[in-house]
Structure 1
């Protein structure tokens, strides 16, 4: 493995881990109870539903992010970019 590959993989995996950390903090801070400060301005049932939506949406987002990170890292390590580069050069008439 060369240094560029390690750098790119570190950036991809680091971004994924940071995203997981931030999203987990966001979900952990969600509360189904409406804060007292907003009780006169916002319906408590709507707030509870919005917090449920946040949780479900975040879990789906984490699943999607995990899937695409695995696919991207696998594609890089399997040499997928080299295959596409070779195909593009074969099709191109600029050589």
Structure 2
């Protein structure tokens, strides 16, 4: 992934899964491979919206109780973590382009 631990949003994981699946079906058939997604988005990311207009100090409480609303799900990804693994059958003549 990168040089330090990061977060990968569920939309990015789903897009990678769809792209890899389409590539594998095109090159080795529907039943010629088995794909396993290793990382799953369990971590909930929250956002604490702040106002920056005039009179904003009377409308919100700042960082007191700043838990926020859920914004999305992410997977915690560390260095050298495996996101996906693909097994290919021996009968399929498959070469990476």
Please classify the TM superposition score into its range, dividing by the shorter chain length: under 0.3
TM-score (norm 2): 0.24
Normalised by the size of structure 1, how large is the TM-score? 0.25
Give 1 or 2 for the bigger CA radius of gyration: 1
Which fold has the larger relative contact order, with Cα–Cα distance below 8 Å and residues 6 or more apart in sequence?
2
- Relative to total residues, which structure has the larger helix share, 1 or 2? 1
